């Protein structure tokens, strides 16, 4: 990462910024000049119809895709060329893809692995799990917080999809990020589970900011501090929930009223 220019440092007190962010796939333009700001401790929802560029935006911010143009700035440092691992070490995390990474682990093993990664401990597979008592204690607390302690010894691939989603969130929280990026965290959860999840996220330290893509408008308008509405690869509108709800362009293009 390299330090960003003083002029850009002074733009805002945002913890995460994108400036002129663009992404093309061949001749197809998916994102066109996205300027985005995330404030310290903010819960910022990203909404929009399918194909509007939301997931591409998340993948650019977290380093899974490389932008065609523009800059990504984290805590005043340009991370546009940083790897996902470098971004994690800098304090930016997103939910794990459990089905890909830990299908044969149980939630307790997965959680201990994530905590060991956070704590800089390598060689987990070479030692019995019992050697990591500190991480086991913390893992059990986190699994309990997200309603997974009773499933701690069930192989991840055998968990219902909704519980796999909860485990993804718990694993990302275990890294103690200062910026947490969540792509549809409530997918596969009931309405009650979704609200319970966001209540747990609200308990994170005040200096942890969250960007979340979500289709459940009940969750968005109840839990977001600000909302950015994507449409056609651009940001159509941005503001507090009441402002977005009242925006006629948003109502016509997305909310259907």
* Mean pLDDT value of segment 112-140: 83
For residue 8, the model assigns a pLDDT of 43
Q: What is the pLDDT of residues 176-235, one digit of tens each?
A: 999 999 998 888 888 888 998 898 888 888 889 999 999 999 999 999 999 999 999 999
Of residues 18 and 202, the one with the higher pLDDT is 18
Question: Chain-wide mean pLDDT for the chain?
Answer: 88
- Please, how many CA atoms are within 13 Å of residue 95, restricted to the half-sphere of its CB? 23
Residue 99 pLDDT exceeds 60 = no
Q: 108 near 153, Cβ under 8 Å?
A: yes
Residue 113 pLDDT exceeds 80 = yes
> Sheet holding 28-38: strands in order across?
2-3, 77-78, 69-74, 16-25, 28-38
State the DSSP H helix or E strand holding residue 99, giving kind and residue range, or none if neither. helix 98-101
Instruction: Choose among 137, 204, 195: nearest CA to 170.
Output: 204
The DSSP letter of residue 255 is: I
* Mean pLDDT value of segment 14-29: 95
Q: How confident is the model at residue 56 (pLDDT cuts 50, 70, 90)?
A: very high
Query: Domains, the chain, ranges and CATH?
Result: 1-91+178-257 (3.40.50.300), 96-176 (no CATH)
Residue 3 pLDDT exceeds 50 = no
* Mean pLDDT value of segment 6-10: 42
Global pTM reads 0.85
Sign of CA dihedral 46, 52, 54, 57: negative
Of residues 34 and 105, the one with the higher pLDDT is 34
Distance CA 46, CA 226 (A): 9
For residue 165, the model assigns a pLDDT of 85
For residue 102, the model assigns a pLDDT of 75
pLDDT more than 90, % of the chain: 60
Residue 48 pLDDT exceeds 70 = yes
State the DSSP H helix or E strand holding residue 210, giving kind and residue range, or none if neither. strand 209-213
Q: 197 near 185, Cβ under 8 Å?
A: yes
Distance CA 123, CA 131 (A): 11
The DSSP letter of residue 72 is: E
């Amino acid at each position: 990462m390299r330090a960003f220019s003083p002029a850009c440092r002074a733009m805002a007190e945002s913890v995460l910024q994108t400036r002129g962010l663009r992404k093309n796939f061949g001749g197809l333009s998916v994102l066109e000049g996205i300027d985005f700001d995330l404030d310290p401790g903010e819960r910022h929802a990203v909404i929009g119809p399918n194909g509007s560029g939301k997931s591409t935006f998340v993948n650019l911010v977290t380093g899974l895709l490389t932008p065609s143009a523009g800059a990504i700035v984290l805590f005043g440092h340009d991370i546009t060329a940083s790897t996902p691992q470098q971004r994690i070490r800098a304090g930016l995390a997103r939910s794990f893809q459990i089905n890909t990474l830990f299908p044969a682990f149980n939630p307790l093993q997965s959680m201990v692995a994530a905590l060991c990664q956070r704590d800089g401990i390598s060689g987990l597979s070479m030692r019995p799990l019992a050697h990591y008592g500190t991480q086991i204690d913390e893992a059990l607390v986190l699994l309990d917080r997200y309603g997974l302690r009773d499933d701690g010894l069930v192989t991840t691939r055998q968990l219902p999809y909704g519980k796999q989603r909860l485990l993804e969130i718990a694993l990302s929280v275990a890294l103690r990020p200062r910026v947490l990026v969540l792509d549809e965290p409530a997918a596969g959860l009931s309405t009650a589970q979704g609200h319970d999840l966001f209540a747990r996220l609200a308990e994170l330290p005040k200096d942890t900011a969250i960007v979340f893509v979500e289709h459940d408008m009940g969750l968005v308008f109840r839990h977001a501090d600000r909302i950015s509405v994507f449409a056609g690869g651009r940001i159509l509108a941005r503001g507090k929930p009441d402002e977005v709800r009242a925006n006629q362009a948003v109502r016509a293009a997305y909310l259907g009223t």
